[in-house]
Amino acid sequence: MTQPTPLTIDAQPAPFTLDPAKTALVVIDMQRDFIEPGGFGESLGNDVSLLAEIVPTVVALLAFARRHQWLVVHTRESHAADLSDCPPAKRLRGAPNARIGDAGPMGRILIRGEPGNAIIEPLAPLAGELVIDKPGKGAFYATRLGEELAMRSVTHLVFAGVTTEVCVQTSMREANDRGYDSLLIEDATASYFPAFKQATLEMVRSQGGIVGWTAPLSSLTKLDETIPAWR
Ligand code: C5J
């Protein structure tokens, strides 16, 4: 096998260069309670169709990452059943009758193992992919993600998932502080509030990419034409 070489893709605010052998895809919180009708997200009055509409793009992104044998990481915002990893300040915020750990329409809200906490079926993790349960908004806080990436010498992260301005952005900021170069796939992330998504994309890539880069999936999949030559 020929040694992979850094590849460059069209992105904002500048081209994003990645080493395919050191890149991981991180799919944030594509869980039933946030995305499916009849879940916790909808019970709060959110229009979950805004999140559901990115599912085909995330399916295509996952297929790309699997095709190129990237490490795939899935996260779930989740807490232990006894709430020992949920600070009272987090639990007490939000709708008074729909707090973390309360009975929700798909089981206890944001509790590990409950039906609503599962990743939606079209994006179900495959054997060998990492599933990170995270008690915070960020994927690195109080998880083993940093160690798992370091063990595999990962340097570049490609992000997707929900919600853009909360768990996705927090995770990208954590990644930035830890020295990763991160690319957010614009059409593979969503928010219940489209203006928040747009503002986040602009924030991430502002000031020369203060948090990272953004690009549509089509920019990444153009690599299909190049990567096979290196395998
Ligand atoms: C995520 C949230 N995943 N909105 N959670 O963004 O609280």
* Paired residues of 75 in beta bridges: 28, 132
Ligand 1 geometric centre to CA of 225 (Å): 35
Helices 194-209, 169-177: inter-axial angle, 10-degree rounding: 20
Provide the residue ranges of all domains of the chain, joining segments of one domain with +.
7-225
Instruction: For 42-51, write each residue's pLDDT tens digit.
Output: 989 999 999 9
Task: Tell me which residue has its CA closest to atom 7 in ligand 1.
Answer: 166
The answer to whether the predicted template modeling score (pTM) of the entire model surpasses 0.75 is yes
Distance, CA of 130 to chain centre: 12
- Cβ of 42 less than 6 Å from ligand 1: no
How many Å apart are CA 123 and CA 199, to the nearest integer? 26
Task: Please identify, by atom number, the ligand 1 atom nearest to the C-alpha of residue 77.
Answer: 3
Backbone φ and ψ for 87, nearest 5 degrees, come out as: -60, 140
The CA-atom distances, in angstroms, between 122 and each of 48, 95, 155 are 16, 29, 28
Q: Please give the CATH topology (third level) of the domain spanning 7-225.
A: Rossmann fold (3.40.50)
Q: Residue 8 has which token pair?
A: 């460059």
Instruction: For 184-219, write each residue's pLDDT tens digit.
Output: 999 999 999 999 999 999 999 999 999 999 999 999
- Cβ of 29 less than 6 Å from ligand 1: yes
Q: Work out the pLDDT band at 231, boundaries 50, 70, 90.
A: very low
Instruction: For 38-92, write each residue's pLDDT tens digit.
Output: 999 998 999 999 999 999 999 999 999 999 999 999 999 999 999 999 999 999 9
